[in-house]
């Protein structure tokens, strides 16, 4: 499994936090922003999008997720984090807080999607078992995830987004 690095901002209940559960289960490691040297940083403010073409970067440096409240999230949170900053293509949330909303994923949903899209499908399946609702995430997004994972360029991925969503909802 590629490394999963969590920058935890302590903005919600740690007992319900998806990134902390990934850490507790040994699937991720908690790090400080300045300690990240490389990898793919999931950054919803980025102009660039995650795609299969970043598999080598994920393999070499891992996936970095910033666990912060969507209500408090600001681009400044991502400053100083080294790596390739990308946003995920649109997906539907299945977590109990944001169920059915496009682009408002929990940390575990975002990391799982990043792994699937970049070709780490077996590792994606490991994350599905962490929460009951992750199987719903899979059902809601399986066709999109597969289409996104087949796109070999940002232009191809953009076409998939337009075909499915019309206008990017993120």
Split at pLDDT 50, 70, 90, the class of 74 is: confident
Using CA atoms, how far apart are residues 48 and 93, in angstroms rounded to an integer?
21
Residue 35 Cα distances to 67, 111, 162, angstroms: 16, 19, 37
- 147 inside domain: yes
Q: Which two tokens stand for residue 19?
A: 């990134």
Using CA atoms, how far apart are residues 70 and 103, in angstroms rounded to an integer?
11
Q: Which two tokens stand for residue 111?
A: 């990391």
Range with lowest mean pLDDT among 40-44, 55-59, 65-69, 144-148: 65-69
Range of the domain at 156: 4-165
Q: Give the per-residue pLDDT at 70.
A: 67
Percent of the chain topping pLDDT 70? 98
- Residues annotated in a binding site: 18, 66, 88, 107
145 near 157, Cβ under 8 Å?
A: no
- 121 inside domain: yes
Domain tally for the chain? 1
State pLDDT tens for residues 103-141.
Answer: 999 999 999 999 999 999 999 999 999 999 999 999 999
For residue 71, the Cα-to-chain-centroid distance in whole angstroms is 17
- Residues annotated in a binding site for S-adenosyl-L-methionine: 18, 66, 88, 107
Question: Is the pLDDT at 153 greater than 70, yes or no?
Answer: yes
Split at pLDDT 50, 70, 90, the class of 4 is: very high
Q: Which two tokens stand for residue 152?
A: 């070999």
What would the mean pLDDT of 24-49 be, rounded to a whole number? 91
Using CA atoms, how far apart are residues 27 and 126, in angstroms rounded to an integer?
9
Using CA atoms, how far apart are residues 58 and 55, in angstroms rounded to an integer?
5
- 31 inside domain: yes
Split at pLDDT 50, 70, 90, the class of 25 is: very high
- 170 inside domain: no
What would the mean pLDDT of 89-111 be, rounded to a whole number? 94
């Amino acid at each position: 499994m590629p490394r999963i690095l969590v920058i935890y901002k302590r903005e919600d209940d740690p007992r319900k936090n998806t990134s902390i559960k990934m850490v507790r289960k040994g699937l991720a490691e908690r790090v400080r922003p300045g300690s990240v040297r490389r990898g793919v940083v999931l950054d919803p403010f980025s102009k660039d999008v995650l795609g299969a073409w970043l598999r080598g970067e994920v393999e070499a440096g891992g996936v970095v997720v910033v666990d912060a409240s969507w209500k408090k999230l600001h681009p400044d949170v991502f400053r100083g984090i080294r790596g390739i900053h990308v946003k995920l293509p649109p997906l539907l949330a299945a977590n109990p807080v944001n169920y059915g909303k496009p682009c408002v994923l929990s940390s575990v949903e975002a990391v799982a999607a990043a792994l699937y899209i970049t070709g780490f499908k077996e590792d994606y399946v490991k994350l599905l078992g962490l929460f009951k609702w992750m199987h719903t995430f899979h059902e809601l997004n399986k066709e999109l995830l597969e289409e996104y994972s087949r796109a070999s360029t940002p232009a191809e991925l953009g076409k998939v987004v337009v075909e499915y969503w019309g206008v990017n909802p993120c």
